[in-house]
């Protein structure tokens, strides 16, 4: 019998790769069978990541890869609610103003997107809507601050404070949108 | 198999004389009075496919958001006086419906899915995915019917609302109705695209499975021989 033992100081190592059975080619990125909770969590994480990015803008190229319109929807609704809450002293409940805010935001975003596409921009339609919608967050914060300032009083001082806050938040919005659009320029 | 053979034996009871107790089929060449033997595997599949509803929660939610959005729109004057509350409620219901139909009920009930993908050079393309192999855990006919009916009828209803809003000049609702129409039509368009694209690939990739899964409802033919009195 041949001696098949090996000397003890030789280490034997290697890799065994076994081809996994017959997987259909579309199972690699197919999400057809994932459980529902995973779907929800995945989308929530994407939305949360974008909100964080608006608050702390730094350039990120992969952020817009999975765009979503949930953030813009929530922001639009909250902005419209706060804006129409201000005119609560009139007789009707500010219904038409509420719908106006919606129309202005969404129609305006669509027009801007179409404009950029016609000028040869490379960003896709929904990505642009996503950016414009998410960058409403600083304006919503400005709205909150202005409401609080208005509670304190409505003189010239409060007007100047509100003006400064709105301009600052507007600048923040612009900065955040450039961070979103880092690679698309 | 035994049942099938016994039936064949009984059908020929007049002539052959073989007793049903022995279970031996009469030594005659198989002729047209023998039953077609069914593959019991596909019988099970058929039974499971005919089972009522395998994803009750998904079916419920598929219809729940759409129908409540429509009902809230119709009855909003009963629920509350505030236009804003109704607007926000219906809008949220429509958004949840869009998300759940697109991401959950489509793939659970009919095995289709569509989404938008942005690849590395920034180009966006739309992906329409259909389940290639109809497995046993796939959808039943009842579920598929509910899915497609719900998907088709609701955009039609919202279009009717659009015209009624336009002509009765209640223009403050127009934004909401337009949002409803666009969200539901988007889902309808996406799934029809999936379905049409999917059928081609099913036929190309797995022709045998396609045929086997669609076995017509075979019932054993009645034995042609004389029934013994």
Whether residues B133 and A26 touch (CB distance < 8 A) is answered with: no
Q: How many residues does chain B have?
A: 229
The packing angle between helices B56-74 and B83-100, to 10°, is 150
Radius of gyration of chain B from its Cα atoms, rounded to whole angstroms:
27
CB contact, 8 Å: A70 with chain B?
yes
pLDDT in tens, A45-99: 989 988 888 888 777 767 777 788 899 999 999 988 888 765 555 555 666 778 8
Q: Which residue out of B100, B102, B118 would a mutagenesis test of the A interface target, given it has the greatest number of A Cβ atoms within 10 Å?
A: B118
Q: What is the pLDDT along chain B (229 residues), one digit of tens a residue?
A: 554 444 444 444 444 444 445 545 455 555 566 666 655 556 666 665 566 677 888 888 889 999 999 999 999 888 778 888 888 999 999 999 999 999 888 888 888 888 888 877 777 788 888 876 665 455 678 888 888 999 999 999 999 999 999 999 888 888 899 999 999 999 999 999 888 875 554 444 444 444 444 445 454 555 555 445 4
C-beta separation of B220 from B4 below 8 A: yes
Annotated domain spans of chain A: 36-45+67-84+95-183
Q: Is the pTM of this model over 0.90?
A: no
Of A31, A84, A103, the CB nearest to B84: A84
Q: Decide if pLDDT at A136 tops 50.
A: yes
Of B91, B113, B118, the CB nearest to A32: B113
Collapsed DSSP state (helix, strand, coil) of residue B29: coil
C-beta separation of A133 from A69 below 8 A: yes
Q: Which residues of B touch A93 (CB under 8 A)?
A: 81-84
| Amino acid A27: pLDDT | 40
pLDDT in tens, A143-155: 999 988 888 887 8
Q: Which residues of A touch B113 (CB under 8 A)?
A: 31-32
| Nearest residue in chain B measured CA to CA from A63 | B118
Whole-complex ipTM: 0.73
């Amino acid at each position: 019998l041949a001696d098949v033992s090996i000397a003890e100081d030789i280490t034997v190592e290697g890799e065994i790769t076994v081809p996994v059975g017959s997987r259909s080619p579309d199972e690699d990125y197919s999400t057809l069978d994932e459980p529902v909770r995973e779907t929800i969590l995945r989308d929530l994480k994407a939305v949360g990541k974008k909100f964080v990015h608006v608050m702390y803008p730094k350039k990120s190229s992969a952020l817009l890869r999975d765009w979503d319109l949930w953030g813009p929807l929530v922001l639009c609704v909250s902005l419209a609610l706060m804006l129409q809450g201000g005119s609560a002293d009139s007789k009707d409940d500010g219904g038409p103003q509420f719908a106006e805010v919606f129309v202005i935001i969404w129609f305006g975003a669509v027009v801007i997107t179409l404009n950029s596409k016609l000028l040869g921009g490379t960003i896709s339609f929904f990505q642009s809507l996503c950016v414009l919608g998410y960058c409403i967050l600083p304006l919503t914060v400005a709205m909150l601050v202005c409401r609080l300032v208005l509670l304190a009083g409505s003189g010239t001082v409060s007007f100047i404070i509100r003006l400064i806050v709105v301009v600052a938040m507007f600048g923040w919005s612009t900065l955040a949108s450039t961070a979103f659009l880092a690679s698309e320029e | 198999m035994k049942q099938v053979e016994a039936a064949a034996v009984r059908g020929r009871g007049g002539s052959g004389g073989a007793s049903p107790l022995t279970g031996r089929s009469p030594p005659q060449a198989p002729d047209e009075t023998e039953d077609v033997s069914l593959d019991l595997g596909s019988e099970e599949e058929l039974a499971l496919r005919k089972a009522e509803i395998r994803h009750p929660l998904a079916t419920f939610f598929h219809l729940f958001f759409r129908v409540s959005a429509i009902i809230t729109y119709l009855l909003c004057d009963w629920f509350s006086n505030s236009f804003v509350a109704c607007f926000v409620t219906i809008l949220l219901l429509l958004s949840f419906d869009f998300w759940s139909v697109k991401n959950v009920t489509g793939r659970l009930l009919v095995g289709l899915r569509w989404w938008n993908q942005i690849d590395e050079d920034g180009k966006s393309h739309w992906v329409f995915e259909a389940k290639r192999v109809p497995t046993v855990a796939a959808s039943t006919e009842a579920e598929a019917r509910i899915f497609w009916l719900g998907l088709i009828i609701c955009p039609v209803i919202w279009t009717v609302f659009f015209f009624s809003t336009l002509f009765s000049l209640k223009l403050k609702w127009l934004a909401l109705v337009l949002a409803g129409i666009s969200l539901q039509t988007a889902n309808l368009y996406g799934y029809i695209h999936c379905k049409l694209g999917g059928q081609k690939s099913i036929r190309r990739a797995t022709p045998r499975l396609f045929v086997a899964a669609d076995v017509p409802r075979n019932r054993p033919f009645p034995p042609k021989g004389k029934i013994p009195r």
